Chains A and B, each alone.
Chain A
Amino acid sequence: MRSWDDNKNMIKVHNLIKSYQSGAGELVVLKNIGFSVRRGEFLAITGRSGSGKSTLLYQLGLLDFPNSGKIFIDGLETSTLSGQERTAMRLLELGYIFQDYALLPSLSALENVMIPLLMQGMSPKDAKIKAMRALDRVGLGDKLVNLPSQLSGGQQQRVSIARAIGHDPKIIFADEPTANLDSETSKVVLDAFLDLHRQGQTIVMVTHEPEYAAVADRVITLSDGVIHTVEERRAGL
């Protein structure tokens, strides 16, 4: 049974704390963070280097474990999930776009997108059709057989987006998706995000560039592990 609030929010973060042990002692990176992300919202998380924005994304994307606090994804409290369940959740409900594209070098663009679909138990034929469709959506319908090494940075990032959206995830997490791209290519990638957003996709994007954050519905700015500002926006590139 879900509350009205729960149905409205795709992500709910409550009292999130994350710290690391360093030579100088305990380094608290996220300090009692709390916020929510609405269904279909495009949220940008920004801040200076070391502000904790990537760490926050890793917690939201279930790639890391917080020290304390709770993260609810579509109503499911994630801290109680086992390792296998977290993997299953990443596979079924989340899409992740990494800063350095994170494509598997021995797989073609098509195969990179197919892999999570196959893991979901889809037949190779269905996975192929779905992966082709996803690549087509990001404008790479003609690069199916290319290996990542045969693609430009922007193309690789678009393959990464296709992989993230191929299985229709509930949320897409993007970690500095334009960091390694020139401004022209960055625009293409952001257009792809906006296009997804228009189709109702929930997106959480980390970026340190304010002009790219500006395309989001809302921008959370982190500073020293706490939420410094929250800005509601409705702008586009």
Chain B
Amino acid sequence: MRASFMDSINLKDDRARLIGHNGTTRHSWFRELKTSLRVGFFLALRDLRRANIWTTILIIFVMFITFLNLVVIGGILVGLIEGSVVAINTRYSGDLIVSPLRNKTYIENSQDLVKFARGMPWVTALTTRYIQGAKIEANYKTKLRETDITDSAGSLVAGIDPIAEDGVTGISHKLIEGEYLNADDFDKILIGADLLFKYTPIDTPSFRTLEHVGAGTKVRLIVNGTTREVTIKGVLKSKVGEVDQRIFMIDTQLRQLIGRSDYNVDEIAMRLKAGTDPILVKRILTEAGFARVAKLQTSEEAQPKFLNDIKLTFELLGNVIGTIGLAVASITIFIVIFVNAITRRKFIGIMKGIGITATAIQFSYILQAMFYGILGIGLGSAFVFGFLQPFIAAHPINFPFSDGILVATLGGTLWRVGLLLGATIIAGYIPARIVVRQNTLDAILGR
């Protein structure tokens, strides 16, 4: 009789009453997931609402710090180099720089190029420079004996139109001593801070600097075999080697000193209208035939290759530091969620006992972890983009070789946000899964 009772049961039909909760169809699987997500959200919201406020603040703070670690450390390391790159553009090369071909000493037919460039609607300012090797001597009056070695330094002297130069590079704002040149300042020079011992305390046989020299000091300038006593009118410090290691004087005087009778120059720097693609202007100049007589480079192309290499290295370094921070944050979240789940093991067992699915319980922990992550990231983003980046842009970090800025691009930041959120989700999911997988009855009875 009993056997017939059991045999008579149509298991297949009876089992069907559980469909929708066992994932037997695609539709029910989706519904199950939706329901689990909703219940997970319901549980997570209440757990968060009734959690200890200080614990919540601490976790969010950890996420905030992690976000800063990910974005700011790398951003500042890259920003050191980016500061240099920006400085080269703003204080030396402009958006486009023209220099002699490798086998030439100057730019041939310079004036044609200058005239053509000035006629282009995108060029807002242009400066020309005559460049010549020079030697500068100081303290020669205090030399005791004729055989004493003169205090001297080798450099390049640039002959400039002070107003045009300032229009492109704004170097008049980079004076740390004295004043900027006027158009009629004969026998006066500006000197880069790298040539003065007091600003660059280096004195090696290959790199000499001048001691006891500053604005107002008379020095000897030896150019092309001609010696001329000039007065230092100002000292420049721009953190760009091409500026800080040079001597500047008005172009008419340098032309006289080097005996140049034509108007062919050695460098032309152009400032373009904001938003203009320098590649476009370069292409137009190339198509006009100027690439045959001069080297045309955008500011980016004119950057020394090592700067880009350092930038990549710093980026890598920032990522390594960020990854360590990310691992620490993941472990923190993992521990918090794990401790939370372990201490609530009994309640997790009860939830499973009353029919709450493992997925819903796991969702609740993942959502809690995401809440911490999103809030930390949100606060971090507001801090970085609302305060830190504008602040550092206005008050750059004073490094010896650049004015450091914070580079935090939208793409790079979004990538890091994704990484942090991903790590947070995993760190929330794993401990929840470990606890949820335990035997329901053991969890309820605390065995």
Contacts and interface: CB of A to CB of B under 8 A. Distances in A.
A50 B383 CA distance: 62
Contacts of A116: 354-356
B223 interface: no
A14 B5 CA distance: 11
Most B CB atoms within 10 A — which of A63, A80, A93, A124?
A: A63
Contact of A119 (B4, B17, B35, B346): B35
B6 A77 contact: yes
B357 to A, nearest CB: 6
B350 A98 contact: yes
B46 interface: yes
A77 B5 CA distance: 11
B399 interface: no
Given A89-B18, A106-B50, A119-B39, A70 B353 contact: no
A105 interface: yes
Q: Is the interface of B mostly helix, strand, loop or mixed?
A: helix
Nearest to B11: A77
A118 B51 CA distance: 22
A119 B11 CA distance: 24
Nearest to B48: A106
Interface size class for chain B? Answer: 35 or more
A147 to B, nearest CB: 8
A102 B443 CA distance: 12
B360 interface: yes
Given A63-B440, A91-B21, A3 B354 contact: no
B125 interface: no
A119 B357 CA distance: 8
A88 B18 contact: yes
B11 A102 contact: no
Interface string A81-97: 11011011111111010
A45 B440 CA distance: 22
B441 A63 contact: yes
A141 to B, nearest CB: 21
Contact of B352 (A70, A87, A147): A87
The 3 closest A-B pairs by CB, nearest first: A91-B355, A88-B21, A76-B14
Given A2-B8, A88-B20, 8 more contacts: A1-B8, A14-B2, A75-B9, A87-B21, A88-B355, A98-B353, A98-B444, A115-B351
8 contacts: A64-B441, A75-B14, A81-B18, A85-B22, A94-B355, A102-B350, A105-B347, A116-B356
